[in-house]
Amino acid sequence: MPITIREIGPCFAGEVAGIDMRQRLTPDEAAAIHAGMDRYAVLVFHGQDIDDEQQLAFTRSLGEIELTLNTGLRAESEYRLPPTFADVSNLDQHNRPMARDDRRRLFSLGNRLWHSDSSFKAVPAKYSLLHARSIPSKGGNTEFADMRAAWDALDDETKAACEGLVCEHSQMYSRELIGFSGLTDEERERFRPVRQVLVRTHPVTGRKSLYLASHAGTIVGWPIPEARAFLRDLIEHATQRQFVYSHQWAVGDLVMWDNRQTMHRGRPFPPEEARDVRRTTLAGDGPTVAQEQAA
């Protein structure tokens, strides 16, 4: 069956038919998926009954995998999944929902803020692929904001103010926003900020987009309060409902998004219920800006 993609979002997001991720992807299919990502930035695949190995094989057929060691507060002995996955579930290593006050859970609540995956790494992520194995009885949507449409809608003066700016991103900044405290010295060292340009240009389409995330806490050369107020205004602008697609999950859905062109956030759900969603991530091509002067 040939691949077809139907637009489902307000101005982006496509629903893909004709892919079975249990089968090896052909080069033509991989090319169609990349072209779909260039156009829509978010693709939804329904009814994919796949295991970890099949998700890894599908991901690898689209590019190089980004490992996710040491990006959260789980100790390696507490990993539920191999480091080829980002465990964005609310489950501990025994597959039980974490206690409400578990600091690993509280840290992960930063994902409820708008962000782009791995913007806190010097080489940030390209695509994320999230597969739903089990979902809660309600809530838990993932929302996506189109940062190309957000850029296009800015006035010329604001566009000119954004061009050339470099931000510093760290998970410490996003966790500050939700009042998470108590990071150890080792964790603070691990989460030290990296630099990212504020305006990115897509390498294929040439479209510009705002590269924002709640991880962005400073703008190089700006006073911090002014930088944060400016970034907050941009995030408010970029996440207006006309730029947002909200995905309501069903078991077997796989949603793939381009972190270079979108932000996303998770929505709340009952904390005592399991939400087993597993993310594989494609590595980006390189840093967006030189790092040597990073704080």
| Residues forming the site for Fe ion (CB under 5 A) | 117
Closer residue to Fe ion, CB minimum distance, 12 or 257? 257
The three state secondary structure string of the chain is: CCCEEEECCCCCCEEEECCCCCCCCCHHHHHHHHHHHHHHCEEEECCCCCCHHHHHHHHHCCCCECCCCCCCCCCHHHCCCCCCCEECCCECCCCCECCCCCHHHHHHHHHHCCECCCCCCCCCCCEEEEEEEECCCCCCCEEEEEHHHHHHHCCHHHHHHHCCCEEEECHHHHHHHCCCCCCCHHHHHHCCCEEEECEEECCCCCCEEECCCCCEEEECCCCHHHHHHHHHHHHHHHCCHHHEEEECCCCCCEEEEECCCEEEEECCCCCCCCCEEEEEEECCCCCCCCCCCCC
The residue of the chain with the least Cβ separation from Fe ion equals 117
Closer residue to Fe ion, CB minimum distance, 45 or 144? 144
Q: How far is the CB of 159 from Fe ion (least distance, A)?
A: 26
Q: How far is the CB of 97 from Fe ion (least distance, A)?
A: 19
Q: How far is the CB of 222 from Fe ion (least distance, A)?
A: 26
Quick one: which of 246, 290, 279, 257 has its CA closest to 72? 279
Q: Which residues lie across from 42 on neighbouring strands?
A: 257
Closer residue to Fe ion, CB minimum distance, 154 or 254? 254
Q: How far is the CB of 52 from Fe ion (least distance, A)?
A: 19
Closer residue to Fe ion, CB minimum distance, 230 or 257? 257
Q: How far is the CB of 116 from Fe ion (least distance, A)?
A: 8
Cα 5 from Cα 33, distance rounded (Å): 9
Closer residue to Fe ion, CB minimum distance, 3 or 83? 83
Closer residue to Fe ion, CB minimum distance, 32 or 180? 180
Closer residue to Fe ion, CB minimum distance, 25 or 235? 235
Q: How far is the CB of 293 from Fe ion (least distance, A)?
A: 27
Q: How far is the CB of 247 from Fe ion (least distance, A)?
A: 13
